[in-house]
Structure 1
Amino acid sequence: MQCDYWDAGVCRSCSLIETPYPVQLARKQADVEALLAPLAPTARWLPPVASAESGFRTKAKMVVAGTVDAPTVGILDAEGRGTDLRRCGLYPPALSATFPILAEFITRASLEPYAVPERRGELKHILVTLAPSGGLLVRFVMRSTEALSRLRKHLPWLIERLPALEVATLNVLPEHKAVTEGDREIVLTPAQTLPMTVNDVTLHLGPRSFFQTNTAVASVLYRQVAEWVDAAAPASLWDLYCGVGGLALHCLAAGRAVTGIEISDAAIDAARRSAAEMADAGVGGADAVTFLAADAVAWAGTQAERPDAVVVNPPRRGLGPDLAGWLENSGARTVVYSSCNPVSLARDLEAMPSYTAREIRLFDMFPHTGHGEVGVVLDRG
């Protein structure tokens, strides 16, 4: 992918951009196989799922810098000053078209960009999510609520310029630290969630809900997980770290009891909403899914009955010794593991020697980088 920002030396985020994409994918596949093959000597490796080379990111995390009258929307340079990336080719046109409008909104609403070197200002990031329908969720990450009244005052102008805007929020991040968002969210629109329809399953994405940045590849991952679960034909399935319910709701089947566990109350509320809509539409198995807000490790350890199959999609740190140990002793016949970090995946597989990897597949969510999502289906040996 040709990139003017890379050519000018102002952005180095896509470290592999000068490598032809087929070569990137082949190397990534080889790296994953070298890491996991010793732990899965008999596994069948399915063909890797390739991404589009450009326009694949449906979530933008843009750092705001500069001044009220001349804001930059992109990243920070080595000195902590803003570098504008509003024409970045990673984003589809419907998403990149929002950046100049949002920059104009910064000026109109007098949102002072946060200056990292001086630790002064208010607006730190703008986070934008694009749904397959074209709907938008926009979050203004600010140091305080100082600009709340101005955000509300000028929001009608923004909605007029961005008719696809469905959800807008103010996220409060008072600390000076290298994180993207804070714990407090103030929703500015009547709608609280953004509908995300993936493979005919409509998920409801809240402002702080996790969702993959590459929706096209994520849809293939969801279908693959559902295929692996259906092949195992479990009567009961647990989805640990279920988020807004994407994997659990793809694995519904008549006669199958599905339980999703996620620590976020908001994510569970969203998952329950999706399940209720599917049940009303007569989707088979939707009336037998239960979503609970709980810590996955603590909840699993207190259950008297064990499931036939378990789906796990943990954060980058992986399952950890406690949950991996519980799975090893759970008696579940099948485990489907989706991992964004092959290193932690390998560590967890070592902690579950009773399971044999049957099939493994790479899903390239992150072209032009060394990162990859890996799915594996494990059967108890």
Structure 2
Amino acid sequence: MHCSYYDAHVCRSCRWIELPYADQLAAKQARVLSALPPMPWRDPVASPEEGFRNKAKMVVGGTVDEPTLGILDPRGRGVDLRECGLHDPRLRAALPVLAELVRAARLTPYSVPDRRGELKHVLVTVAPSGELMVRFVLRSTEAVPRLRKHLPGLLASLPVAVVSVNLQPAHKAVLEGPEEIALHGDTLTMRVNDLDLHLRPQSFFQTNTAVAARLYHEATGLVASVGPASVWDLYCGVGGFGLHVAAPGRTVVGVESSEQAIESATLTAADLGLAATFLAGDATAYALASAEVPELVIVNPPRRGIGRDLATWLEASSVRHVVYSSCNVDTLARDLTSMTSLRPVSAQLLDMFPHTDHHEVLVLLSRG
């Protein structure tokens, strides 16, 4: 993939972009192989090289009349990246319309050096259908009436399913705050492998839809190969894994700290008539407090991994199988050392993040 921003040293986030994609994939495969114990490996899953990101997280800079949507330079000034080739083309087409809305609604970009302004980020997600979720991260509610005034024009210009305001008043490098104000709609439908997953504004979803679909497909195959009657989906997000593996005669329980994600997963389960229950809470606390133990546990933790407490509980439990989806092979390797009774049966690299050294690894562990 060629990137004029990279060539001009405007943005150097894609550190591997000069490597041919086949070499990137080979380097990632070598990296995860070296970090994990010997086990059978399935063929890696490649990604499209460009246009694969379903979410644009754009820092807003510049001025109200000439806003930038992109990143900040080392001085904290805005750098415009509206034509970033990683983004789905439908995201790129939406960004000029949103920049015009910033001007029309007089949404003053937040200046990090000066600690002044209102609009910090514009977050845009595109569904496979082409519908959009647009979130404006503001410091206060001051600009909300102006956004409401210009909302009809936005809805007429773009296929927007959800519009919201997120409030982040703190002067620190945190993407968003806890409070969300709905302006239009409440859920974006992400169709993945014939399942309509619901995505609400503060719910996590993988940024690479094509590879996420393969991840869920591969995990479903692993679960089917051992045929458990009961499954826990810990760190379940909007229920992608749990909803894919739900089947007649199988109980599925998902646990996730985000209440919005749990609402999304519960809505999808109800729509599809699936016997799956989703609970808001801490995954480790749920496992340690539960009187019942499932046959199989799926874990999809953040980069820090599942940690010693949950790994130790899994080791001491009667859980027969674990499907571990990891975005950090180092914390995965650490967690495996606490689960020595759970033998690695197979592993697979899935490339969610081309042009970087980031990776996703799916591992099946079985006891005995």
The offset of 1:220, in angstroms, is: 0.1
Matches within 5 A, 1:229-240: 229-240=223-234
Q: Secondary structure at the match of 2:345?
A: strand
Paired residue for 2:331, among 334, 340, 344?
344
Matched residue, 2:62 = 66
Matched residue, 1:119 = 115
Paired residue for 2:306, among 319, 333, 339?
319
Matched residue, 1:256 = 250
Q: Which runs of 5+ in 2 are unaligned?
A: none
The offset of 1:105, in angstroms, is: 0.4
The offset of 1:331, in angstroms, is: 1.1
**1:188 corresponds to 2:175:** no
Q: Which runs of 5+ in 1 are unaligned?
A: 280-285
Paired residue for 2:169, among 171, 174, 181?
174
The AA in structure 2 aligned to 1:154 is H
Matches within 5 A, 1:112-261: 112-162=108-158, 164-189=159-184, 191-261=185-255
Matched residue, 1:335 = 322
The offset of 1:305, in angstroms, is: 1.7
Matched residue, 1:91 = 87
Structure 1 distance, partners of 2:367, 2:91, is 44
**1:50 corresponds to 2:46:** yes
Matched residue, 1:101 = 97
- CA deviation string 1:178-221 (max 9, x = no partner): 111111100101x2111111001111101010001000000000
The offset of 1:266, in angstroms, is: 1.6
Moved over 3 A (4+): none
Structure 2 distance, partners of 1:268, 1:77, is 37
**Alignment length (residue pairs):** 368
Matched residue, 2:35 = 35
Sequence identity, in percent?
A: 60
Structure 1 distance, partners of 2:265, 2:85, is 32
The offset of 1:138, in angstroms, is: 0.4
The AA in structure 2 aligned to 1:124 is K
The AA in structure 2 aligned to 1:177 is K
- CA deviation string 1:10-38 (max 9, x = no partner): 110100111111001100110110011xx
Q: Secondary structure at the match of 2:347?
A: strand
Question: Structure 2-normalised TM-score?
Answer: 0.99
Matched residue, 2:23 = 23
Matched residue, 2:353 = 366
**1:76 corresponds to 2:72:** yes
Structure 2 distance, partners of 1:242, 1:305, is 18
Q: Secondary structure at the match of 2:122?
A: strand
Matched residue, 1:283 = none
Question: Structure 1-normalised TM-score?
Answer: 0.96
The AA in structure 2 aligned to 1:167 is V
The AA in structure 1 aligned to 2:11 is C
The AA in structure 2 aligned to 1:263 is S
- CA deviation string 1:129-184 (max 9, x = no partner): 0001111000000111110100101011111111x101001000001111111111
**1:7 corresponds to 2:20:** no
Q: Secondary structure at the match of 1:290?
A: strand
The offset of 1:83, in angstroms, is: 0.6
Structure 2 distance, partners of 1:100, 1:265, is 32
The AA in structure 1 aligned to 2:199 is L
Q: Secondary structure at the match of 2:268?
A: helix
CA RMSD between the two structures: 0.8
The offset of 1:253, in angstroms, is: 1.4
